[in-house]
Amino acid sequence: DLVNYQFSFSLNCQLSIVNCQLFCGCQLFYLFVMRYLTVDGYFDGTGIRDAANGGYLEHDEVGISPDLSKRIDVWLEQYWKEFIKGFPDRDKVVELDEEGIRIARRLKKEFPEDKIGYFSDARMVALYDEKVHGGFRSGNDCRSKGKSEDG
């Protein structure tokens, strides 16, 4: 029997080699790739930035679910409207950042092996970084108000 294994990975990511025992007694070594992704609302971006290699990634390139992709698109549209106005409403910025953080958490649920961060373009600061503290990095005003982690 031929068994096909498909692996995909990008360069400049942390690689781990895992030893697996197959049913036939053979050993298989495969690469596990960790990506470093940042959710942000940068004007004309895709909402997901490759923090290791730079640039924005298309949603299908990342492999996110259609529901999360739609959620990001809706959030980006709202974020860009505020960007064009110059972010005049602080409460709206907090609301948008809260949703961005929930999106980052949802992305982490879909890809637990990846490192996921959130960057507020309105405030120009990282608010959520899975690599550091496993959660909020600064600002109590960005905590969800009675909402579940992924909205």
Q: Work out the average pLDDT over 37-66.
A: 94
Residue 93 or residue 140, greater confidence: 93
Q: Work out the average pLDDT over 123-149.
A: 52
pLDDT score recorded for residue 127: 86
Least confident among 5-14, 66-75, 131-140: 5-14
Q: Work out the average pLDDT over 40-62.
A: 94
pLDDT score recorded for residue 87: 94
pLDDT score recorded for residue 31: 52
Angle between helices 90-110 and 66-85 (to 10 degrees): 160
State yes or no: pLDDT of 83 exceeds 50. Answer: yes
Q: How far is CA 18 from the centre of its chain?
A: 24
State yes or no: pLDDT of 18 exceeds 70. Answer: no
Contacts of 13 (CB under 8 A, 6+ apart): 33, 34, 35, 36, 52
State yes or no: pLDDT of 142 exceeds 70. Answer: no
C-alpha distance from residue 24 to each of 3, 28, 82 (Å): 12, 11, 58
Residue 95 or residue 138, greater confidence: 95
pLDDT score recorded for residue 61: 94
Q: Work out the average pLDDT over 12-22.
A: 39
User: Mapping DSSP to helix (H, G, I), strand (E, B) and coil, where does residue 34 land?
Assistant: strand
